[in-house]
Amino acid sequence: MNANLIVSNILNPPVLFFFLGMTAVLVKSDLEIPPPIPKLFSLYLLLAIGFKGGVELTKSGINQQVVLTLVAAIAMACAVPLYTYFILRLRLDTYDSAAIAATYGSISAVTFITASAFLTELGMPFDGFMVAALALMESPAIIVGLILVNFFSKDEKREFSWPEVLRDAFLNSSVFLLVGSLIIGVLTGEHGWEVLSPFTQDMFYGVLTFFLLDMGLVAAKRIKDLQKTGVFLISFAILIPILNAGIGLLIARAINMPQGDALLFAVLCASASYIAVPAAMRLTVPEANPSLYVSTALAVTFPFNIIVGIPLYLYGINLLWS
């Protein structure tokens, strides 16, 4: 793999600020971001990327490539929890296995946004409708994870409301804002983009940088939780994203995705949710240990993807598309 790709990614300012956040925790600095601000930045990033995706979707329209990409996204969101569940069952119980499988079947919007910034730095084009794929991959894994718990759990006393589960899966704040912004982008088109571009474009990288600084702080604080996961889960948190990305790249090649879109699709397949799915799992599968599925996704997979994974997947694209 070309080492220049890794260096280029690491020297991206938002990624460097992620390292700065981790370093602050490791050297015991008192640096911290007040709790309401990261939530605001998260909502801003979802709004900005969703709105831009909607505007771009008006340019491309709904064609065969768009449909194939979205179908592939849903298929991967459903398939990843299924095969990862059985891998995890080699060492873990049903509840922990299903919760972690759902976490890795869903996606990390921030990893997707970081990959988008990486492509922009390289001058490699990508289509805005990939944001629709991001939105569609958020919720199916939650549903599949709960189905796995119901099917394989021996506890007949477990009770929860499917309507509430579906509501949380499809109407949680992340999905609702992302899809809503996408629709508004479609409805307003270029005019809307011109009106909001000082907010949705000019501020974007600054907010992303500040958000990744906070993510570095949070990830470093989660490192101590890795002691509870053991070598098996740490290895899982690195190797499964590579496997998922590899499958994603093969699918992307089969349906002739452009290289920029293929990278974003691979990143979606390789990422793991550390916000939406953990919130849903804590509510619906309280038997699962949160320190397992949160720490693996946030303290291992997220840093791996933004530091090594993104350039690694691009290297795979260069091989397959050549």
Specify the pLDDT at position 55.
87
- 118-129 pLDDT, tens digit per residue, is 998 889 999 888
Whether the per-residue pLDDT at 158 is higher than 70: the answer is: no
Please tell me the distance from the alpha carbon of residue 21 to that of residue 279, in angstroms, as a whole number: 24
Q: What percent of the chain has pLDDT over 90?
A: 41
Specify the pLDDT at position 1.
58
Specify the pLDDT at position 258.
95
Which is more confidently placed, 9 or 78?
A: 78
92 by DSSP, 3-state: which?
A: coil
Q: How confident is the model at residue 159 (pLDDT cuts 50, 70, 90)?
A: low
Work out the angle between the directed axes of helices 3-10 and 109-122 (0-180°, nearest 10): 110
Least confident piece of the model among 2-11, 16-25, 167-176, 207-216: 2-11
**Closest C-alpha among 318, 316, 312, 317 to residue 5:** 312
Specify the pLDDT at position 238.
96
- 307-321 pLDDT, tens digit per residue, is 999 999 999 999 999
Please tell me the distance from the alpha carbon of residue 198 to that of residue 112, in angstroms, as a whole number: 22
Dihedral class, residue 226 (left if φ above 0, else alpha if ψ from -120 to 50, else beta): alpha
Specify the pLDDT at position 281.
83
- Looking at domain 34-321, which CATH architecture does it have? Up-down Bundle (1.20)
What's the chain's average pLDDT?
87
Whether the per-residue pLDDT at 78 is higher than 60: the answer is: yes
Whether the per-residue pLDDT at 130 is higher than 80: the answer is: yes
Segment 11-23 mean pLDDT:
87
**Closest C-alpha among 132, 85, 54 to residue 293:** 85
C-alpha of 92 from chain center? 24
Joined together, the tokens standing for residue 241 give 């994203």
Segment 50-65 mean pLDDT:
83
